[in-house]
């Protein structure tokens, strides 16, 4: 898997006014028919258990409508122009490794979008640019007060997106409540 990752070449990139890489796109390496973005759901991936749960929900949704392609969106913090040249691709591929492996094993095609900046606005912009059917995000299942204190990307997306947002809540694990 890692060997294949080092040879992955982005199929698209975007730079800001300083020439810094701010967005990269990768396509699935396996030869599979790819559906246009307008028919696909876009899944927000951050490598956590919750985003993997969101991915399985999105796969079920895609299977029901007979579209075996998903867009994956992953957002990273700002990097310096020099660091972004190598780090953005490396971090994006590392974060989404599990998600891509799962999609490959289930016969799904995917498009990976690696972005830089604030998670919620970047993801909303991405789905609007792609014209996706909607965004799929995992939620940690925080209560109102916890969400207010920790900030919830899912909340921000729901109230800023113009399209549909699927929120997949992972059933709460008891040890996680203690960690909060």
> Using CB under 8 A as the criterion, which residues of the chain lie in contact with other proteins when the complex forms?
39, 57, 60, 64-66, 134, 139, 141, 143-144, 154-155, 158-171
Contact of 168 with 57, CB cutoff 8 Å: yes
> Which one, 34 or 83, has the nearer CB to other proteins?
34
Minimum distance of other proteins from residue 134's CB (angstroms) = 7
Residues 6+ apart with CB under 8 A from 76: 88, 91, 92, 95, 114, 115, 116
> Which one, 115 or 165, has the nearer CB to other proteins?
165
- The residue behind tokens 């694990």 is 173
Give 161: exposed, middle or buried? Use CB within 10 Å, 0-12, 13-18, 19+: middle
Minimum distance of other proteins from residue 87's CB (angstroms) = 32
> Which one, 74 or 127, has the nearer CB to other proteins?
127
> Which one, 19 or 174, has the nearer CB to other proteins?
174
Minimum distance of other proteins from residue 23's CB (angstroms) = 24
Minimum distance of other proteins from residue 111's CB (angstroms) = 19
Q: Which of 67, 51, 15, 60 lies closest to 123 in space, CA to CA?
A: 51
> Which one, 99 or 168, has the nearer CB to other proteins?
168
Minimum distance of other proteins from residue 71's CB (angstroms) = 16
């Amino acid at each position: 898997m890692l060997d294949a990752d080092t040879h992955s070449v982005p199929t698209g990139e975007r730079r800001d006014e300083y020439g810094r890489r701010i967005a990269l796109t990768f396509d699935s390496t396996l030869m599979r028919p790819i559906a246009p973005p307008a028919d696909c759901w876009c899944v927000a991936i951050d490598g956590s258990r919750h985003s993997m749960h969101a991915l399985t929900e999105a796969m079920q949704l895609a299977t029901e409508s007979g579209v075996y392609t998903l867009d994956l969106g992953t957002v990273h913090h700002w990097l310096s122009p020099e660091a972004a040249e190598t780090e953005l691709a490396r971090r994006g591929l590392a974060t989404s490794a599990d998600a891509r492996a799962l999609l490959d094993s289930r016969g799904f095609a995917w498009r990976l979008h690696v972005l830089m900046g604030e998670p919620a606005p970047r993801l909303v912009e991405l789905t609007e640019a792609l014209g996706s059917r909607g965004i799929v995000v995992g939620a940690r299942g925080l209560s109102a007060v916890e969400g207010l204190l920790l900030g919830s990307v899912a909340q921000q997306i729901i109230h800023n997106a113009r399209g549909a947002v699927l929120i997949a809540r992972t059933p709460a694990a008891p040890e996680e409540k203690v960690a909060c």
